[in-house]
């Protein structure tokens, strides 16, 4: 058995969305974004040097193997990292998600964050994250990670995280706004379709600017980000909730009015959003939704409302309840001998 670098990297859910790129080649977004790092939804990735001539990637549990003959996003990212950092040794990568890949939950944030850290950890023989950060400070890791997938750079830190757009693509950075323990917020993830989306996020970003509503959105984002951050800092959910719902719907309005238009939200999900607003009014539950580029809905709320909400969900939406998540403290890295599926 040879030692493997093992990384567990969380997914994240954006409260102020990244939708639109200024420059895809440098992974420079149009605007700063803000997300909550998750805990239960994660990717675990093991990396070890191999004498093979190509990188090897296998998706454990699904038995789905691929090599660099079959071009994939992961291989492309490994090639980018080795070029950028000057490592020529090929890697054997094993990876798994804590959630089914076909579920519609964004796996690119956790997946590309885990892959970046595991590959760099294996190449530098780091035994923990602090050691890796000595060689590659967090902003360097963020640059590497977002070249794989933009939202993945926010998964490098725990709690509430801001990805600052900066004045130039080199000026971007990630910042932890509050640590995980700042606020006990749950995220009840609901799934409304198992089908893969027909337009990927990367393709969608490029369409955003064609929406006639895009300029108005961008003009208001700085102020919105400040409002959301303040509501979060003050732990004021009745202020935060309406802001995040409006923000998610605004992003989907951009999607639906771009050329060509993209609709990620299935009819059942729309029904659910109306239901949530109704139960909020009738039961006084402070729980609000947000959505990614998909038809899964994240219902966020303070822990004290979870029990009542769960009862109502079990009653009306049992089939659509997917995963209960919460705020997480960011990725971990260690070294192990065997792949342990836990």
Residues that bind ligand DP6 (CB under 6 A): 14, 17-19, 33, 106, 108, 149-151, 201-202, 205, 292-293
| Beta bridge partners of residue 219, listed in sequence order | none
For the CB of residue 50, give the shortest distance to ligand DP6 in the complex, in Å. Answer: 27
Query: Rounded to the nearest 5°, which phi and psi values hold at 127?
Result: -105, -10
Please give the DSSP secondary-structure letter assigned to residue 329: -
For the CB of residue 308, give the shortest distance to ligand DP6 in the complex, in Å. Answer: 29
Residue 248 to residues 15, 299, 342: CA-CA distances in angstroms? 8, 12, 34
For the CB of residue 44, give the shortest distance to ligand DP6 in the complex, in Å. Answer: 19
- Specify the residue, 37 or 108, whose C-beta has the smaller distance to ligand DP6: 108
Alpha helices in 284-321 (DSSP H): 306-317
- Specify the residue, 299 or 309, whose C-beta has the smaller distance to ligand DP6: 299
For the CB of residue 52, give the shortest distance to ligand DP6 in the complex, in Å. Answer: 27
- Specify the residue, 5 or 208, whose C-beta has the smaller distance to ligand DP6: 208
For the CB of residue 95, give the shortest distance to ligand DP6 in the complex, in Å. Answer: 17
User: How many residues comprise the chain?
Assistant: 342
Distance, CA of 243 to CA of 230 (rounded, Å): 11
Residue 120: CB atoms within 10 Å: 24
- Specify the residue, 54 or 203, whose C-beta has the smaller distance to ligand DP6: 203
- Specify the residue, 5 or 41, whose C-beta has the smaller distance to ligand DP6: 41
First-residue to last-residue Cα distance in the chain = 18
For the CB of residue 43, give the shortest distance to ligand DP6 in the complex, in Å. Answer: 14
Query: Closest by alpha carbon to 6, among 156, 109, 118?
Result: 118
- Specify the residue, 14 or 157, whose C-beta has the smaller distance to ligand DP6: 14
Residue 1 to residues 4, 64, 334, 339: CA-CA distances in angstroms? 9, 22, 16, 10
For the CB of residue 106, give the shortest distance to ligand DP6 in the complex, in Å. Answer: 5
As given in the structure block, the two tokens for residue 248 are 């998610």
CB of 291 closer than 8 Å to CB of 298: yes
For the CB of residue 182, give the shortest distance to ligand DP6 in the complex, in Å. Answer: 20
- Specify the residue, 48 or 292, whose C-beta has the smaller distance to ligand DP6: 292
- Specify the residue, 199 or 308, whose C-beta has the smaller distance to ligand DP6: 199
Distance, CA of 308 to CA of 196 (rounded, Å): 32
Please give the DSSP secondary-structure letter assigned to residue 326: E
For the CB of residue 338, give the shortest distance to ligand DP6 in the complex, in Å. Answer: 31
22 alpha carbon, distance to own chain's centre: 20
Enumerate residues 6+ apart whose C-beta is below 8 A from 67. Answer: 54, 55, 56, 57, 75
Enumerate residues 6+ apart whose C-beta is below 8 A from 100. Answer: none
- Closest-CB residue for ligand DP6? 150
- Specify the residue, 5 or 13, whose C-beta has the smaller distance to ligand DP6: 13
């Amino acid at each position: 058995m040879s030692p493997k670098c093992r990384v567990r990297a969380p997914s994240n859910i954006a409260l102020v969305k990244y939708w639109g790129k200024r420059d895809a080649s440098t992974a420079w977004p149009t605007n700063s974004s803000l997300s909550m790092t998750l805990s239960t939804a994660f990717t675990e990735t093991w990396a070890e040097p191999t004498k093979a001539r190509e990188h090897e990637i296998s998706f454990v549990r699904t038995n789905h193997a691929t090599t660099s003959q079959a071009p994939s996003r992961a291989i492309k990212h490994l090639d980018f990292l080795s070029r950028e950092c000057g490592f020529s040794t090929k890697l054997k990568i094993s990876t798994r998600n804590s959630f089914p890949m076909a579920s519609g939950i964004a796996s690119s944030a956790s997946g590309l964050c885990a892959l970046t850290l595991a590959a760099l950890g294996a190449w530098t023989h780091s035994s923990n994250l602090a050691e890796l950060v000595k060689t590659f400070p967090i902003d360097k890791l963020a640059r590497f990670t977002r070249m794989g997938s933009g939202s993945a750079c926010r998964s490098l830190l725990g709690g509430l995280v801001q990805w600052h757009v900066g004045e130039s693509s080199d000026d971007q950075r990630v910042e932890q706004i509050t640590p995980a323990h700042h606020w006990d917020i749950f995220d009840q993830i609901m799934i409304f379709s198992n089908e893969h989306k027909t337009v990927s996020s990367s393709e969608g970003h490029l369409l955003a600017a064609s929406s006639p509503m895009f300029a108005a959105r961008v003009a208001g984002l700085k102020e919105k980000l400040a409002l959301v951050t303040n509501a979060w800092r003050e732990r004021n959910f009745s202020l935060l909730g309406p802001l995040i719902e409006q923000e998610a719907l605004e992003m989907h309005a951009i999607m639906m009015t771009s050329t060509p238009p993209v609709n990620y939200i299935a009819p059942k999900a729309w029904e659910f959003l109306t239901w949530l607003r109704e139960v909020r009014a009738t039961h006084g539950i402070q729980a609000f939704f947000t959505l990614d580029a998909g038809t899964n809905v994240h219902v966020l709320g303070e822990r004290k409302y979870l029990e009542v909400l769960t009862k109502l969900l079990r009653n009306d939406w049992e089939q659509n309840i997917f995963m209960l998540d919460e705020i997480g403290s960011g990725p971990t890295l260690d070294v192990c001998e065997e792949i342990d599926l836990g």
